[in-house]
């Protein structure tokens, strides 16, 4: 790999918790990427909702296909910037493994239930526990024994944790930013889901093209250009082409703006990227503002659409009832969690168990415990 000086070079890695001999032909980050792909948590992404449940169609993104899209865009962006594509890919593949069932609604509900016990739920911290403790695959160590930079990227995904509130994360140097390979993931994630959610919303017939054209100039301009170039093409293909152009514009802007920010900072190493006064990956002010309009549209018209909300309310109620059930009856959990619940704080163990569930597994458990499901299982 021909890397820029400010890229994260695998030979400069701070290494793994349990040292291992180097692999003859895979870099440390390539090994991390491969371990993530072979993990159970990664396979479970297939049965976790992104936004739309399979109740509408089998063609929607789930968290696994979303993750693959993020990984594809991340590799492109990383390569264009001279960054370490293997590290970017590992981080992209891991970025959603800590998500509980039922998307953000599930996350909010778990957090609310945990707060009643003086705790909280956070998907980055949960992802870290998955890769450090819950994945049991190897003879020589617990978890996946990932490199420092991948664990750090998991923790520094999409938010900054104040060091005084999270002393347990002190080893991750919370006052420093992560390398660019981690910083781009937040943006790539957003570019991937903003465009994909438009596509899925159209497929679910929840999207009004008129409202979209009125409220999202970024889309409207590309759509108009496509329609005038292809006046007789089917609507669906013109819509897809416009989405593709929006995605391309945002990814290109991310590459160019990040490149300019790095040049202005004069950072010459990953260590200097970490110490820069702010995160250097990002969109230009103009593209950022236009992307924000797209995001606002999705929030106002799609994520809160009654068809999505109804499904979500029923699912989240099942999650809440199961949480209460396992808290009272910890032995109803599998032996690993039941034993843990005797030694450790019970609500945390219950939370971890539920957070690891897929949507369908949770609904099946609910049906087994409470009889007839109040939600029609797809």
In angstroms, give the least distance from the CB of 38 to Mg ion. 20
Q: Which is nearer to Mg ion, 96 or 241 (CB)?
A: 96
In the complex, minimum distance from the CB of residue 96 to Mg ion, in angstroms, rounded to a whole number: 4
SS3 string of the chain? CCCCCCCCCHHHCCCCCCCCCCCCCCCHHHHHHHHHHCCHHHHHHHHCECCCCCCCCCCCCEHHHHHHHHHHHHHHHHHHCCCCHHHHHHHHHHCCCCCCCCHHHHHHHHHHHHHCCCCCCCHHHHHHHHHHHHCCCCCCCCCCCCCHHHHHHHHCCCCCCCCCCCHHHHHHCCCCCCCHHHHHHHHHHHHHHHHHHHHHHHHCCCCCHHHHHHHCHHHHHHHHHHHHHCCCCCHHHHHHHHHHHHHHHHHHHHHHHHHHHHHHHCCCCHHHHHHCCCCCCCCCHHHHHHHHHHHHHHHHHHCCCHHHHHHHHHHHHHHHHHHHHHHHCHHHCCHHHHHHHHHCCHHHHHHHHHHHCCHHHHHHHHHHHHCCCCCCCC
Least gap, CB of 73 to Mg ion (angstroms): 11
d(CA 58, CA 174): 41
Binding mask 38-77 vs Mg ion (x if CB under 5 A, - otherwise)?
----------------------------------------
Question: Closest CB to Mg ion among 63 and 347?
Answer: 63
Q: Restricting to residues 11-40, name those near Mg ion by CB under 5 A.
A: none
Nearer to Mg ion among residue 27 and residue 195 (C-beta): 195
- CB nearer to Mg ion: give 35 or 95: 95
Point out which span in 82-90, 186-194, 207-215, 244-252 binds Mg ion (CB under 5 A): 186-194
CB of 95 to Mg ion, least distance (A): 6
Least separation, in Å, of the C-beta of 61 and Mg ion? 10
Size of the site for Mg ion (CB under 5 A): 2
Task: Say whether residue 96 binds Mg ion (CB under 5 A).
Answer: yes
Q: Which is nearer to Mg ion, 330 or 356 (CB)?
A: 356
Q: Smallest distance, Å, CB 91 to Mg ion? A: 11
Rounded to a whole number of angstroms, the minimum distance from the CB of residue 315 to Mg ion is 19
Q: Which is nearer to Mg ion, 107 or 189 (CB)?
A: 189
CB nearer Mg ion, residue 312 or residue 337: 312
Query: What is the C-alpha to C-alpha distance for residues 258 and 177, in angstroms, rounded to an integer?
Result: 14
- Name the residue number minimizing CB distance to Mg ion: 189
Return the range that interacts with Mg ion (CB under 5 A); candidates 92-100, 201-209, 228-236, 339-347. Answer: 92-100
| Shortest CB 193 distance to Mg ion, Å | 6
Binding site for Mg ion (CB under 5 A): 96, 189
């Amino acid at each position: 790999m021909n890397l820029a000086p400010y890229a994260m070079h695998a030979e400069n890695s701070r290494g793994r918790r349990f040292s291992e001999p180097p692999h003859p032909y895979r870099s440390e980050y390539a090994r991390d990427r491969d371990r993530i792909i072979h993990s159970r948590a990664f396979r479970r992404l297939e049965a976790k909702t992104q936004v739309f449940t399979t109740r509408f169609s089998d063609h929607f993104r789930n968290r696994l296909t979303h993750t693959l899209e993020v990984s594809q865009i991340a590799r492109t962006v990383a390569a264009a910037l001279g960054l370490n594509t293997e590290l970017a890919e590992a981080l992209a593949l891991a970025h959603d493994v800590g998500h509980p069932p039922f998307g953000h609604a599930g996350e909010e509900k778990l957090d609310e239930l945990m707060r009643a016990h003086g705790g909280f739920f956070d998907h980055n911290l949960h992802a870290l526990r998955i890769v450090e403790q819950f994945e049991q695959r190897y003879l020589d160590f617990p978890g996946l024994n990932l490199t420092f930079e991948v664990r750090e990227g998991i923790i520094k995904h999409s938010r900054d944790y104040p060091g005084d509130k999270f002393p347990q994360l002190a080893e991750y140097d919370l006052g420093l930013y992560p390398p660019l390979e981690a910083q781009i993931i937040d943006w790539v994630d957003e570019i991937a889901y903003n465009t994909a959610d438009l596509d899925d919303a159209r497929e679910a017939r929840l999207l009004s093209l008129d409202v979209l054209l009125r409220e999202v100039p970024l889309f409207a301009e590309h759509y108009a250009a496509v329609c005038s170039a292809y006046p007789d093409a089917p609507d669906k293909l013109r819509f897809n082409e416009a989405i593709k152009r929006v995605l391309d514009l945002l990814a290109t802007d991310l590459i160019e703006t990040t490149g300019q920010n790095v040049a202005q900072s004069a950072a010459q190493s990953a260590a200097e990227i970490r110490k820069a006064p702010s995160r250097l990956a990002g969109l230009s002010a103009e593209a950022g503002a236009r992307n924000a309009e797209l995001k606002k549209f999705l929030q106002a018209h799609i994520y809160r659409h009654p068809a999505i909300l109804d499904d979500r309310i029923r699912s989240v109620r099942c999650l809440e009832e199961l949480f209460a059930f396992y808290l009272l009856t910890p032995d109803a959990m599998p032996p690993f969690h039941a034993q843990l619940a005797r030694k450790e704080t019970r609500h945390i163990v219950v939370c971890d168990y539920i957070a690891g569930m897929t949507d369908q597994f949770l609904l099946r458990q609910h049906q087994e415990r409470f009889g007839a499901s109040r939600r029609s299982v797809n």
